[in-house]
Structure 1
Amino acid sequence: MTTPVIVGAAETAYTRTPGPDDTAETYLVQAIRLAVADAGFALSDIDGLAVSSFSLKPDHAVDLAVRCGLTLSWIMEDTNGGASGINMLQHAVRAVESGDAEVIVVAAGDRMTNDDFRILATEYNRITKDHVSPMGMIGPNPMFAFLTERHMRAHGLTRHDYGRIAVAQRRWAGLNPGAVYRKPLTLDEYLAAPTVAPPLHRFDCVPPVSGADAIVVTSRGVKPGERGARVLAIGGSINWDNQEGDGLRTGLSDAAPAIWEKASIAPSEADIVSVYDDYPVMVLIQLADLGLVPDGDLRRAVDRIDAHNWPVNTSGGQLSAGQAGTAGGLHGLVEAVTQLRGRAGQRQVNARIAAVSGYGMVAYRYGACANLAILETV
């Protein structure tokens, strides 16, 4: 069986203010070209394409292929939000293993202005449009406010604890030239920020931005003098509790043990972790679901994150780098690959194993999709 390797990763500059000529397509094309160049390939080498975007419509993956001048033997689209990146990677790995394609670009991104986000938030899916928005719960913030409140009660946490996660990630963002928010954030500033939906305040809520991400998966191996990342194990869980739980666990709690076992890696062996951070509470929930808080002491986990001796979301995460629509599903993956390839600049850590989680597609109350990729440097 052919061994797939991730040999390229790139992210466009995220921005809160896209230009009048910027579209989802222009961001995706730019990310694809950057990733392909980073991998040392030409566009003519690409024979597979996977795309996820909320705002590419009415176009589709094939239209993007035409725009890039790609001739393909394999193509797919994914519409599962924050879980799309790892889901597409899983399909790309299987396609390379089977010989359906040799060089696949996985891309995700969106143009996301305030109006774009408002429309997306109110018409996200039929559940949102027909049941949630008419109740006055516009966007995901109210849902995750309730979830955060439940989490606070269940674990005896306070806003101070969640704030330390946001502050710690902002310190990482200060080392990431591509992060939208790099100015240091103090805990006092976090606590004093305007209320959005109690107990959530401004810095608890992921900022929507415009931009795109891409990675390159290939069977052709790593070029001499370069490093890549191979997928040791990958998988996920979709609609694991039929939205009948309290949201304090994700499908990762059900799927992760088997994924770690398949990788022959213990959770404690992960050198770097990227978890989908649309809210600080989701950082803690996913870390626990991944088996990375074995004693269940979440405040101790916060202490480790705050002390910067646990490399979690070293890009600054989406809370500081920004959430470029569905590109959020690739943001953590791009960061993990960048770290494993030794290309993270000032924020570089000594990493051989990376764990990356995806989470998304809010239905009635919380995300219905969760997945995990465990990567190793090669």
Structure 2
Amino acid sequence: MSARDWQDLRGSVAIAGAATFGCGESPGHDDMSLLAHAAHAAVADAGLSMRDIDGLCTASVSSAMWAMPVIEHLGLNPRHIDGTMLGGSSFIAHLLPAMRALHYGQCNAVLVCYGSAQRTATFGRKEIGLARRHLDPQPYEQPYDPVMPVSAYALAASRHMALYGTTRRQLAEVAVAARAWARLNPEAFLREPLTIDEVLNARMVADPLTVRDCCLVTDGAGALVLVRAERARDLPRPPVYLLGAATAVWHRQISSMPDLTVTAASQSGAEAFAMAGLAPQDIQLLELYDAFTINTLLFLEDLGFCAKGEGGAFVEGGAIAPGGRLPVNTNGGGLSCTHPGMYGIFTLIEAVRQLRGEAGARQVAGVQTALAHGNGGTLSSQATAILGTAAAL
């Protein structure tokens, strides 16, 4: 994308509606039911009706053609359709194409939506895992039958520890900080107090990661509505402007990753910052895809908030917890709030709520800029979005 394209798109689109539904346990719902509830809530939040929606972005682990049944179920006739599936980063990756579609008049209102009943559905984690072996072949790894995805992230964590002296206690700081934020969030699935020792002494899943280093498995759905900036200013909610967005993919299998401690977030982040005309020091709030505690350290480093290898030291002493120097994952993240299979859309929703000043007890005072970052696969796909209030334009 040229510098002129960046200049034209920056701030040209705003998020006008946002909603979640069914986060935690939602027996009796399937993926589509959850998605539909969130979609209708987000459209209503934007002050629109489903008749106004003429763009759709969605993805699902359970269906390669997921956009089509969503269109059918919601009764849409979209002129912009994006069903790109990059794992948990998909919904952030959908933003830049949607911005183009809106900016150039292809459509007028884009719905980004996701739903998963992964925790309570009859067709659950075991069946999804078996399906992935056929639909998502990984020939260098599957013959050894690793426990994916946790084995891959444990490998990255072990490498980070070996190279940089990162400790399990520093990883535990990430989980404890996420829980501290979750305790302020009535929507969070886990809200009990959590200590570093409890993380360290929890059941080991894949060395060095215990169960408390790993994300939740929940039900849940989320949705957003994007419109052109000038239209957003006439709608009920304060607009949240998209200032920058970028996606990068370097590999699929963790064994094909060039460096286990450097992710493609270093590319997506740099490109998103360039589009936004901002730098890490300009960002007041981070929403990072924390499928595992190592993710938060890697993304803090790769997005430029600290140097490579310094992520562990950066989070010590509650630095990313409430009252710390940098608010990170203010809803409780995938570690303590919600994680229905793919978490990326929830990073955006929490950023929107914070920028609107709607986050209640966990509200960060005076926030005008936020970064939402998504991850998919085994550190495989990375997507970064930078958002801001009108004051950040």
Whether TM exceeds 0.5 here: the answer is: yes
TM-score (norm 2): 0.88
CA contact (8 A) 1:108 1:329 kept: no
Partner of 2:331: 315
**Structure 1, residues 240-296: CA drift from partner, whole Å, max 9, x if none?**
698242321111213422331221111111010111111111101011111111485
Q: Which runs of 5+ in 2 are unaligned?
A: 1-7
Change (3 A) 1:135 1:165: same
What is the rounded CA distance, in whole Å, between the counterparts of 1:223 and 1:343 in structure 2? 19
8 A contact 1:52–1:77 mirrored in 2: yes
Is 2:15 the counterpart of 1:39? no
Shift of 1:68: 1.7
Are 1:340 and 2:346 an aligned pair? no
**Residue aligning to 1:249:** 262
Task: Give the equivalent residue in structure 2 for 1:221.
Answer: 232
Q: CA deviation at 1:353?
A: 0.7
Task: Answer whether contact 1:49 1:76 (CA < 8 A) is retained.
Answer: yes
* Contact in 2 for aligned 1:117/1:208 (Cα 8 Å): no
Q: 1:225 to 1:241 in 2, by over 3 A?
A: closer
| C-alpha RMSD of matched pairs (Å) | 2.1
The 1-side partners of 2:304 and 2:140 are apart by: 34
For 1:351, give the aligned amino acid. V
Q: Kindly indicate whether the alpha-carbon contact (under 8 Å) linking 1:48 and 1:74 is maintained by their aligned counterparts in 2.
A: yes
In structure 2, what is the equivalent of residue 237 of structure 1?
A: 248
Q: Which amino acid aligns with 1:324?
A: P
**SS in structure 2 at match of 1:249:** coil
User: Hey, what's the Cα distance between the residues in 1 that align with 2:251 and 2:66?
Assistant: 29
Question: Is the contact made by 1:209 and 1:322 (CA closer than 8 Å) also made in structure 2?
Answer: yes
1:107 pairs, out of 106, 113, 136, with: 113
Percent identical pairs in the alignment equals 32
Higher mean C-alpha displacement, 29-38 vs 106-115: 106-115
The answer to whether the 8 A contact 1:122-1:139 is kept is no
- CA-to-aligned-CA distance 1:17-42 (integer Å, 9 cap, x gap): x42x3111001101101111111111
| Distance of 2:240 and 2:125 partners within structure 1 | 33
Give, as a single letter, the amino acid of the residue that structure 1 aligns with 2:372.
V
Tell me by how many angstroms 1:305 deviates.
Answer: 1.6
1:118 aligns with 2:145: no
Distance 1:179 1:110 in 2: 16
Q: Equivalent residue of 2:141, what SS?
A: helix
Distance in 1, Cα, partners of 2:372 & 2:251:
19
Q: Aligned equivalents of 1:24 and 1:98: distance in 2?
A: 32
Correspondence 1:329 to 2:344: yes
Shift of 1:50: 1.0
Structure 2: distance between partners of 1:201 and 1:9: 33
SS of equivalent residue, structure 1 residue 10: strand
SS in 2 for 1:139: coil
1:50 maps to what in 2? 57
1:161 and 2:167 matched: no
Q: Corresponding residue for 2:3?
A: none
| 1:318 Cα offset (Å) | 0.5
| 2:47–2:235 contact (8 Å) kept in structure 1 | no
Structure 1 position 28 matched with structure 2 position 35: yes
Q: CA deviation at 1:313?
A: 0.5
Q: Secondary structure at the match of 1:354?
A: strand
Structure 1 unaligned residues grouped into runs of 5+: none
| Letter in structure 2 aligned against 1:259 | A
**Are 1:268 and 2:281 counterparts?**
yes
